[in-house]
Amino acid sequence: MKKVITGDHAVAIGAKLCRVDVVPAYPITPQTLIIEHIADFVNDGELDTKFLTMESEHSVMSAAAAASAAGARVFTATSSQGLAFMHEMLYATAPLRLPVVMANASRTLGGPPGIWCEYNDSMGARDSGWLQLYVEDNQEALDMIIQSFRIAEDKRVLLPVMPCLDGFVLTHTVEPVEIPTQEEVDSFLGPYEPDIILDPARPAMIGTFMPAEYIMELRRQTVAAFDSAKDVIREVNSEFSKKFGRDYGGLVDTYRMDDAKVALITMGTVTSTSREVVDDLRQKGEKVGIIKLRFFRPFPSEDLRKLVSNLDALGVFDRSISYHGGGPVYNEVRSALFGMKMPVINHFAGLGGRDVTEDQIFKMFELTSRAAKGEKVKEVNWHNTRGETV
Amino acid sequence: MFEVRFHGRGGQGAVMAAQTLAEAAVNEGNYAVAFPFFGAERRGAPVLAFTRIDEKKIYSKTQVYAPDCVVVLDDSLLDTIDVVSGLKPNGTVIINSKEKPDDIDLGVSVRTASVNATSIALEILKAPITNTAILGAFAKATGIIRIESLEASIKQKFGEKLGEKVGERNAFAARTAYEKTIIGTSRSVKKLEAKKQWLPKYQDYPIGAALIEGKTEAGLIGPGSFIENKVSGWATYRPLRDKEKCTMCLLCWFYCPEGTIIRISDRGDLMTNYDYCKGCGVCANECPVDAIKMVRARA
Amino acid sequence: MITIKELSDDNLFTAGHTACPGCGVAMSIRNAIRVLGKDTAVYVPASCAVVFGTTFPYGAWKVPFFHTAFENTGACLTGMQAAFEKKGKKVTVVGFAGDGGTYDIGLQSMSGAAERNEDIIYICLDNEAYMNTGIQRSGGTPFGAWTTTTPVGSNIQGNQRFKKNLGDIVVAHEIPYYATLSIGHPLDFIRKVEKAKNMKGFRFLHMFTPCIPGWKMDPAKTVEVTKRAVESGMWTLYEVENGEKKVTYKPGKMKSVKDYLNMQGRFRHMSDEDINKLQMWVCRKWNLHYHEKGAPDICEVAPPVEHHAITEEHREMHGP
C-alpha cells in the first residue's frame, strides 16, 4: 500500500510494524511527530505496546535500557539536545549489549539553539557503541527501522542502532512511501528472544561494578560485535531486497560509480539532491559519481578503499564540524584511505540547517574535479559561507 | 630507587602511611611519591598503597611489582594474600604481628621484621590504627629513613589533620614500635597458592558481561557468588553466644548485616558462620539478655 | 503480619558482600529483600550498594540485578516494570537508591515515576550524605553535620542547611504509599515492607540507614543510633496511605537531640548554639508529626519564626 506521509510518520509506522513492546518517549522538535503517531496507534488500539511518557530524555534512555534488559523490544526517538541529554545512557546501553532502536531526527545541537538539520548531535555519539546510519528518503526511513531491529537483535551483533533522518528535510516532508504488510514484516523479523535477561525465574546481574582486570576484554568484545555487524548489515540488506524489492547496498550505496573518476561521499538527503547534479554532469560528459555513506558506525573502511581505487579525486561532504579543521566524516575517510595517493577534499555545507542547494553540490564536484586535474585546491572548503570563498 | 608496597585494610591508614613515608623521605632531601591502588574499598577490605623513594625525580607512574620492602599492617592478610609476591631477593618484609619474625610463615625464607603494632596503637592511640607504629618498624628494619625524620613528618601530617596532640601521640607510637621491632628471618613451610581467579578471554565473555549463576575453575560467579569472598579477616572481634542465656528472640539473626547467623536444628537454634563475620558487634550490642560477648577474633 | 520468626531463611542478599562492618544499608537491604521475596527484580543506582553488592564476576544478589547510572532509578524501574507487564510476568520491581540518588541527582526521575504512579517500590536508603565518594554533603544531610564538603573550619562548622523534607515532596505526588522506616524497629519495618509489597502503584519506603565511617561511630551501634534518632525526633516513623497520614510509633517522651548527637563523631564539634538550633528544628517537626509539644524543658523556647510566614512585604509583592 502506498501512502504519502512525512518521514516521522514513516518511522512511526516502521516501529509499529516491528511490534515494539516498550516505547519510552519524550518530545523534541523535529522528532515529535514520531512519538505523536505512536501515541495515536496505541490509543486507537492499533499497537499493543507500553508507551511511557517519560519526564526527560535521560529517563527515556534509562527506561529503554532497563526494559531491554528485562527482555522487551524497545523503540524510541530523539533529536539534538535530547540526544545530548541522554549521552550518559548511550554509553550504558551499548556495552551492556541492549539492542534498542532509536531514531534520531538530525538537528543542530546548540548553542546557539536552532531546530534545523545538522549532524553535530549524532556525531557526538559516534564513540558510544551505537550503530549509526543515515537515510536519504522517507521510504528508506521506514525500511531501515525494520532492518535496524533485525541487525540489532542478531546474536552476532546485539548492539543498539540509531537510524538518523534529516530534521525537517525528511521529518516534516511528505512523499510517497510503500508500506509493507504486517505479515511481510512478521516473516522478516521474528520475535526478540534474548539469552540472558532480568527474570526472577533465572536471575541475572547486568551492569555490575567492574574492576580494571575485566573491563578491557568487555571493550574488545564490543569491537568484535562491531566487526560482525558489517556482515550482518550486508546480509540483512540482501534478504530485505529479496523480500521487499528495495536494495540499499548495505554499508554504503553508490550512484553512477562504474567508470567514475571523481566522486563525492554524501550522507542523508544531500545524497538525494546530488543524484540530480550527477545526472546533469554526466550529460555534460563528466565521469562523476556518488558514494552514499549509509552507516557511519560501523565505518565501512574496506568498502570505501575498493570503491575509490580508480578515482582521480574524492570529495567528502560534512554536515558537522570538529573545530580543528576537517569534519568528522572527512577525518574518518582520510584515515580509511591512508596510503592512497589521490586528493581528498572536504566540503562543509548545510550547518545549522542551511539549505544545501544544487549549486553548492556542483561547486563541490567542480573543486574536486580541479583537484583531480592536479590544480591546487583548498583541503577544507566552506560552501555558501559569508567571508569564505570557494 | 627504593620501592615499598603496603598491605592493609580499609580504615587502617595504609595510604596515610605511604604518604607520610614519602614526606619524610622528601624532608631528608630525596624525591618520593606515594599512591594508593585506586579501588572502591570499604572499611576492612584489603587495600594496597605504594611509596617510591629515590635521589632524583621519579617518572614511573605504574604500580610497584618488585618491591624492596613490603609492609603488612594486618597479619590476617597473610592468610589470603601472597604478600611476598615480587619481593626482591634481598628485600625485607615488615609485619604487624605479635609473633617473632622466625615464627612467621611467609612460605619463603626472607628477611623479616615484626612488631605488635596493634597493641602499641591500642595502648597509645586507644584505637587499632597501626599505620604510624608500623612506620617506626620500617625505619628500624630498612634504615632507609631516620626515625627522627619520621617523627617530624608524623607530627606535621597528623597534627595538621587531627590536632597537635594526636600528632605527638602518633609520633610516640612510631618511636615505641621502632624500639620494639625484632628482625629475623621468616619460615618457609606453607605452600603459597596463587589465588584462583576467573579471567576469561574476551571471546569467552558472557555477552555484555551479563551473568547468571555459574561455576568456573576458580569458583562461583554471578548471582549469589559473593559467598566465595570470606571476610573473616576483616574482624578484630567476633561474637560468642551463650546458648543457655539465649531466648531465640532472633534479633541478632535479623540485625546481622552479613548473614553470618543462621537458623539450624529445624530453626530451634542458631549458628554463626565466622567465615563471613566482620566483627561489627551489632548482635552483642542488641541482644536483650546479654547472651552475646565480643572476643578478640585471633587469640 | 509477618513476625521476625516467620521471616524467610533465604539469603537473597548473600554473605561475603563487601559492605563496611555494621553497615546500616546492608542491614536494611537484607531484611527488605527477605520480606519482598524471590519474585523481585532490583535496580541499584550508583552507590555503595552497587560496589559492595556486585563486583564482577561476583554478586550478593540472588534476584535479578540491574545498574546503569546514578540519577535514573525512577526511570529504570519504569522500564523494567513495563517490560515485565508486557511479557505477562508478575515481578515486584524495586529500586534501592541512596539519599544523593534520591534527594538530589535522582529527584527528577523519581518524581516522574511517582507522578505516573508506576507500579514499583522505590526504596531510599538514607544515610545522609554521599558515602560512596567519601562522605560529601547531600540534600539529606542534617544541620551541623560534618562531611568532607561541609568541613569543620575556623569560620564555618559543618552543614549550614537543615535536612530537606523529602517525605512531603514525595507525598505531594499523591501516591498510594509513603512510609519511613528504621532498622531499629523491626516489626514496624517488616510490616511496612510487607504492606508496600502487597499494594499496587508507586510505593516509597524511606529507610534510615546509619553509615559507620560517614557518621564516625562505633559499628556496634548501628541499631542503637536509629532507635535514638526516633526517640529524639530526628527521625519519625509514619506512613501516608492514600493521603491518610498515620504515625506508626510515637516515643513516650521526647529526648534531647544531644542523646543522639553524642553517639556520632560527625556532630562532635557542634556549639551549644547550633545544637539548640537543631533542637528547635526537631521540636517543630515533633509538633507537626505528633500534634503535641515535646518535652517542656527542651521545647519551651519559642519555635523560630516560620520561614514561609507571609509578611507585609510579601503581601505587597504577591497579594494576600
Asked if C66 has any chain A CB less than 8 Å from its own CB, the reply is yes
Asked if A53 has any chain C CB less than 8 Å from its own CB, the reply is yes
In chain A, % of residues over pLDDT 90: 98
Best residue in C68, C118, C173 to probe A by mutation, most A CBs within 10 Å? Answer: C68
Residue B99 lies in a domain: yes
Asked if C14 has any chain A CB less than 8 Å from its own CB, the reply is no
Same domain (yes/no): B84, B145: yes
d(CA B34, CA C315): 61
Question: What's at B258, amino acid-wise?
Answer: E
Question: What's at A82, amino acid-wise?
Answer: G
Topology of the domain covering C24-271? Rossmann fold (3.40.50)
Same domain (yes/no): B181, B282: no
Q: Are B124 and B172 in contact (CB under 8 A)?
A: yes
**Domain final residue, candidates B185, B213, B234:** B185
- Quick: pLDDT tens for A9-35: 999 999 999 999 999 999 999 999 999
Q: Are C22 and C222 in contact (CB under 8 A)?
A: yes
Measure in Å the smallest separation between the Cα of B35 and chain A Cα atoms.
Answer: 17
Cis bond before residue A180 (omega within 30° of 0): no
Asked if B205 has any chain C CB less than 8 Å from its own CB, the reply is no
Contact B226 C18 (CB under 8 A): yes
Alpha carbon distance, N-terminus to C-terminus of chain A:
45
Residue A73 lies in a domain: yes
- Quick: pLDDT tens for A282-339: 999 999 999 999 999 999 999 999 999 999 999 999 999 999 889 999 999 999 999 9
Nearest residue to A177 via CA among A8, A45, A42: A8
DSSP per-residue string spanning A80-93: HHHHHHTHHHHHHH
Q: Which residues of chain C have pLDDT under 50?
A: 303-310, 320
Asked if A152 has any chain C CB less than 8 Å from its own CB, the reply is no
Strands B31-36 and B46-54: antiparallel
Whose cell is 574518518? That residue is A332
Asked if A387 has any chain C CB less than 8 Å from its own CB, the reply is no
**Domain final residue, candidates A217, A244, A271:** A244
* Max intra-chain CA distance, chain A: 69
Which of B197, B202, B223 is nearest residue A204 as measured by Cβ atoms?
A: B223
Same domain (yes/no): A210, A300: no
Q: Sort out which chain C residues have CB atoms less than 8 A from B282's CB and list them.
A: 22, 27, 219-223
d(CA C18, CA B276): 10
Q: How far is CA B292 from the centre of its chain?
A: 26
Residue A126 lies in a domain: yes
DSSP per-residue string spanning A68-134: HHTT--BEEEE-HHHHHHTHHHHHHHTTTT---EEEEEE----SSP--S--SHHHHTTTTTT-EEEE
Same domain (yes/no): A133, A153: yes
B215 C-beta neighbours (distance < 10 Å), count: 11
Three-state secondary structure call for residue A224 = helix
d(CA B255, CA B286): 8
Q: What is the CATH number of the domain that holds A282?
A: 3.40.50.920
Please provide the average confidence, as pLDDT, over all residues in chain A.
Answer: 97
Three-state secondary structure call for residue A177 = strand
Q: Provide the pLDDT for residue C318.
A: 52
Q: What is the CATH number of the domain that holds A101?
A: 3.40.50.970
d(CA B26, CA B54): 9
Same domain (yes/no): A232, A267: no
Q: Domain of A33?
A: 2-244
Same domain (yes/no): A234, A256: no
Asked if A11 has any chain B CB less than 8 Å from its own CB, the reply is no
Measure in Å the smallest separation between the Cα of C48 and chain B Cα atoms.
Answer: 9
Q: How far is CA C221 from the centre of its chain?
A: 18
The phi, psi pair for C147, rounded to 5°, reads -140, 175
Same domain (yes/no): B83, B230: no
Q: Provide the pLDDT for residue C320.
A: 43
Same domain (yes/no): B126, B16: yes
Which of C20, C27, C183 is nearest residue B44 as measured by Cβ atoms?
A: C20
Q: How far is CA C26 from the centre of its chain?
A: 14
Same domain (yes/no): B20, B88: yes
Same domain (yes/no): A224, A296: no
Alpha carbon distance, N-terminus to C-terminus of chain C:
49
**Domain final residue, candidates A244, A275, A307:** A244
Q: What is the CATH number of the domain that holds B272?
A: 3.30.70.20
Same domain (yes/no): B64, B112: yes
Contact A59 C82 (CB under 8 A): no
Q: Are C128 and C209 in contact (CB under 8 A)?
A: no
Same domain (yes/no): B103, B74: yes
Return per-residue pLDDT of chain B as tens, 299 residues.
999 999 998 888 899 999 999 999 999 999 999 999 866 667 778 889 999 999 999 999 999 999 999 999 998 889 888 999 999 999 999 999 999 999 999 999 999 999 999 999 999 998 888 999 999 999 999 999 999 999 999 999 998 888 899 999 999 999 999 999 999 999 999 887 777 899 999 999 999 999 999 999 999 999 999 999 998 888 889 999 999 999 999 999 999 999 999 999 788 899 999 999 999 999 999 999 999 999 988 75
d(CA A25, CA C205): 27
Same domain (yes/no): A221, A259: no
Contact B211 C59 (CB under 8 A): yes
Q: Are A350 and A319 in contact (CB under 8 A)?
A: yes
User: Hey, where are the domains in chain C?
Assistant: 24-271
Alpha-helical regions (H) of B28-128: 117-124
Say whether pLDDT at A250 is over 90.
Answer: yes
Asked if B14 has any chain C CB less than 8 Å from its own CB, the reply is no
Q: CB-based burial of residue A37 (10 Å sphere; 0-12 exposed, 13-18 middle, 19+ buried)?
A: buried
Nearest residue to B270 via CA among B294, B297, B249: B249
Contact C220 B281 (CB under 8 A): yes
**Domain final residue, candidates A226, A244, A262:** A244
Residue B260 lies in a domain: yes
Asked if C94 has any chain B CB less than 8 Å from its own CB, the reply is no
Q: Which of A146-150, A277-281, C50-54, C315-319 shows the lowest per-residue confidence on average (mean pLDDT)?
A: C315-319
Same domain (yes/no): A230, A275: no
Residue A375 lies in a domain: yes
Residue A179 lies in a domain: yes
Same domain (yes/no): B11, B114: yes
- Quick: pLDDT tens for A338-364: 999 999 999 999 999 999 999 999 999
Same domain (yes/no): A239, A257: no
Residue B114 lies in a domain: yes
Same domain (yes/no): A271, A129: no
Asked if A196 has any chain C CB less than 8 Å from its own CB, the reply is no
- Quick: pLDDT tens for A53-74: 999 999 999 999 999 999 999 9
- Quick: pLDDT tens for C225-247: 999 999 999 999 999 999 999 99
Residue of chain C nearest A206, judged by CA positions = C66
ipTM confidence score: 0.96
Q: What is the CATH number of the domain that holds B86?
A: 3.40.920.10
Nearest residue to C35 via CA among C170, C185, C186: C186
The three-state DSSP-derived secondary structure of chain C is CCCCCCCCCCCCECCCCCCCCCCHHHHHHHHHHHHHCCCEEEECCCCHHHHHHEECCEECECCCEECCCCCCHHHHHHHHHHHHHHCCCCCEEEEEEECHHHHHCCHHHHHHHHHCCCCCEEEEEECCCECCCCCECCCCCCCCCCECCECECCCCECCCCCCCCHHHHHHCCCCCEEEEEECCCHHHHHHHHHHHHCCCCCEEEEEECCCHHHHCCCHHHHHHHHHHHHHHCCCCEEEEECCEEEEEECCCCCCCHHHHHCCCHHHCCCCHHHHHHHHHHHHHHHHHHHCCCCCHHHHCCCCCCCCCCCCHHHHHHHCC
Residue A388 lies in a domain: no
- Grid cell locating C9: 531463611
Q: Domain of B35?
A: 2-185
User: Which chain B residues in 242-261 lie under 8 Å from chain C, judged by CB atoms?
Assistant: 249-251, 253-260
Same domain (yes/no): B176, B253: no
Contact A204 B210 (CB under 8 A): yes
Best residue in B207, B221, B225, B226 to probe A by mutation, most A CBs within 10 Å? Answer: B207
Q: Provide the pLDDT for residue C293.
A: 83
Say whether pLDDT at A91 is over 50.
Answer: yes
Q: CB-based burial of residue C308 (10 Å sphere; 0-12 exposed, 13-18 middle, 19+ buried)?
A: exposed
Q: What residues pair up with A22 in beta bridges, in sequence order?
A: A50, A74
